C-alpha cells in the first residue's frame, strides 16, 4: 500500500506543479490539457487498484476518506481542464481572468486533497490491530504532543 500511495502522491505533486505553471502562464493550456489528461488516466488506474484492496474493518472509514480525497483531486483536474477549454472560446477577451479562476480552484482542490491524503496515509501505515484508527485534527494534535 505504501508504494501505491507514494505513486499517487508523486502524481498529485506533479499535477499541482503543472497547474501552478498554468496559473503563472508558464504552460500553454493545450499542453496542460494533454499532460493533465495523461496524469488523470494514471490516477484512474490507481483508484481502480485501491478499490480492489481489502482493508481491516477498523480502517474502512479512513480507506473511504482516502478514496474520497483522491476523487476530489480528480475533480480538481477536471476543473482545470474546463478552464483550459474556456481559453479556446472564439470571442474570449485576451485578458479574461475566468480561466484563472478555474485554475486556482482546481489547484486548491488538488493541493488540499493531497495534504489530507498524506495525513490519512500516515495513520493507516502506523495502525496496529486493536488500536483505533483516527485521522482527525484532534488525534493529530495529540500525536504531536506525545512525540
Would you list the DSSP string of 58-108?
GGHHHHHHHHHHHHHHHHHHHHHHHHHHHTT-TT--TT--HHHHHHHHHHH
With pLDDT > 70 as the criterion, what percentage of the chain qualifies?
A: 99
Q: What is the pTM of this model?
A: 0.88
pLDDT at 18: 96
pLDDT at 147: 67
Q: State how far the alpha carbon of 56 is from the alpha carbons of 5, 81, 89, in Å.
A: 17, 37, 49
Lowest mean pLDDT among 5-19, 48-62, 94-108: 48-62
Query: In 3-state terms, what secondary structure has residue 45?
Result: helix
Where do we find the cell 496524469? 39
Domains in the chain (CATH in brackets) are 2-146 (1.20.120)
How many other CB atoms sit within 10 Å of the CB of residue 77? 21
Does 55 score more than 90 pLDDT? Answer: no
Amino acid at each position: 500500500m505504501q508504494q501505491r500511495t507514494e505513486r499517487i502522491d508523486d502524481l498529485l505533486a506533479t499535477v499541482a506543479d503543472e497547474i501552478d505553471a498554468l496559473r503563472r502562464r508558464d504552460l500553454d493550456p493545450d499542453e496542460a490539457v494533454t499532460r493533465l489528461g495523461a496524469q488523470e488516466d494514471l490516477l484512474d488506474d490507481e483508484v481502480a487498484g485501491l478499490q480492489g484492496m481489502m482493508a481491516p474493518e477498523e480502517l474502512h472509514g479512513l480507506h473511504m476518506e482516502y478514496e474520497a480525497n483522491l476523487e476530489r483531486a480528480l475533480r480538481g483536474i477536471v476543473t482545470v481542464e474546463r478552464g483550459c477549454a474556456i481559453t479556446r472560446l472564439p470571442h474570449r477577451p485576451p485578458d479574461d481572468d475566468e480561466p484563472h479562476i478555474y485554475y486556482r480552484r482546481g489547484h486548491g482542490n488538488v493541493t488540499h486533497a493531497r495534504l489530507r491524503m498524506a495525513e490519512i496515509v500516515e495513520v493507516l501505515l502506523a495502525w496496529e490491530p486493536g488500536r483505533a484508527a483516527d485521522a482527525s485534527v484532534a488525534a493529530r494534535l495529540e500525536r504531536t504532543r506525545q512525540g
